[in-house]
């Protein structure tokens, strides 16, 4: 049980990569709080993953600071602390570069970059208060480096997340908080099926 005694929070955890992360953390002995904008689904997922004594669900829109703060507060209230934060929530929108609407740009940046910033900051404040360090994991993407035109806003947000990770790692190192990024390739999640493989150009670029 590698994570016995640890408490983790995972955003975007009702399905896909986030759910898989939460499932593995629980299998390794951690207590886990999972957040997702789909409140009904994240509650259902929590029930499927484990007992209330091990896992809690919180409806969380990561683009809203108060929601992210509530996610962290729930971990502390339920399990006494926070050791690991995984900023996994993300969305993608499929547009020709010259046709990207402002509101869609704002939506993607709001979830993928601003949401990750809120997660890093909220988790770090709690970890600093605890005085015992911690780990913050930002789920980036190969798209931070790979330019797929149909996914321009997604790529921009993940590039920003990489720099957020680098800056936060330096800023939080004195507090014994490690900030790391993970940049997976294409994983066939629901988001990939709808936002990426729905575009012939994006599919060809990925494959």
Residues tagged active-site: 154
Tell me if residue 182 falls in helix, strand or coil. Answer: strand
Tokens representing residue 96 in the block: 């020709």
The Cα 43–Cα 39 span in angstroms is 6
| CB proximity list for 16: less than 8 A, separation 6 or greater | 187, 189, 190, 191
The Cα 164–Cα 116 span in angstroms is 8
The Cα 118–Cα 153 span in angstroms is 19
The Cα 192–Cα 203 span in angstroms is 10
Which one, of 120, 46, 59, lies nearest residue 85 by Cα?
A: 120
Buried b (16+ CB within 10 A) or exposed e, 85-99: bbbbbbbbbbbeeee
| Radius of gyration of the CA atoms of the chain, in A | 17
């Amino acid at each position: 049980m590698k994570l016995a005694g640890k408490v983790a929070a995972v955003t975007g955890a009702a399905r896909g990569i986030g759910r898989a992360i939460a499932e593995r953390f629980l299998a390794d002995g951690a207590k886990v709080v999972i957040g997702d904008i789909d409140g009904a689904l994240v509650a259902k997922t929590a029930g499927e993953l484990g007992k209330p004594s091990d896992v809690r669900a919180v409806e969380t829109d990561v683009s809203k600071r108060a929601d992210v703060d509530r996610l962290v507060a729930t971990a502390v209230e339920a399990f006494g602390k926070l050791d690991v934060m995984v900023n996994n929530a993300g969305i993608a929108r499929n547009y020709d570069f010259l046709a990207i609407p402002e509101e869609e740009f704002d939506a993607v940046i709001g979830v993928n970059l601003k949401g990750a910033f809120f997660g890093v900051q909220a988790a770090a404040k709690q970890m600093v208060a605890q005085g015992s360090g911690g780990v913050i994991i930002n789920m980036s993407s190969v798209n931070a480096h790979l330019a797929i035109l149909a996914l321009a806003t997604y790529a921009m947000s993940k590039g920003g997340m990489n720099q957020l990770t680098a800056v936060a790692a330096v800023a939080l190192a004195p507090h014994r908080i490690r900030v790391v990024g993970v940049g997976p390739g294409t994983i066939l999640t629901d988001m990939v099926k709808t936002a990426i493989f729905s575009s012939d150009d994006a599919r060809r670029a990925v494959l």
